[in-house]
Amino acid sequence: MTGAGHRTVMIIDDDVSVRDSLRFLFEIAGYETEVFASARDCLEAYPWCGAACMVVDQHMPDVTGLELVTEMRRRGSRLPAILVTGSPSLDLERRAAELDGMRVLPKPPMEDELLLFVASSVN
């Protein structure tokens, strides 16, 4: 599944304030959003029809963001993803790069970087 042509951004983060601020950012920019409080909630919503890309927190209870995207890839999703983390590392960036279309950004991510990522995903 690719995200080209769709205008929905999936947001997966266990922190309600982060989810709300990301939702606000993307909706003000003209995108639709679908938010999930956990990786498990996101996986239960499979298939993810209509999404263009996703913004995923790395450090969530039970399932990390990297594990979530790995499972989504196993299920056939090729949605571009940004993994946001408060503790970026070369190892995490290497492992993320092995998953097609995945980038790592430090938390909090820069708004312009997020918007550029989404804009490139919807076109």
One digit per residue, the tens of pLDDT, for the chain of length 123 reads 344 447 899 999 999 999 999 999 999 999 999 999 999 999 998 777 778 999 999 999 889 999 999 999 999 888 999 999 998 889 988 889 888 768 899 988 899 999 999 999 887
Would 1 be classed as within a structural domain?
no
63-99 in b/e form (b: 16+ CB < 10 A) is bbbbebbbebbeeebebbbbbbbeebeeebeebbeee
Supply the CATH number for residue 110's domain: 3.40.50.2300
The structure tokens 């601020």 sit at 21
Would 36 be classed as within a structural domain?
yes
DSSP structural state of residue 10:
E
Would 96 be classed as within a structural domain?
yes
In which domain, by residue range, is 65 found?
A: 8-122
CB 37 within 8 A of CB 30: no
Would 56 be classed as within a structural domain?
yes
Token pair listed for 52:
């263009």
What is the pLDDT, as a whole number, of residue 22?
Answer: 96
How many independent structural domains does the chain possess? 1
State pTM to two decimals.
Answer: 0.90
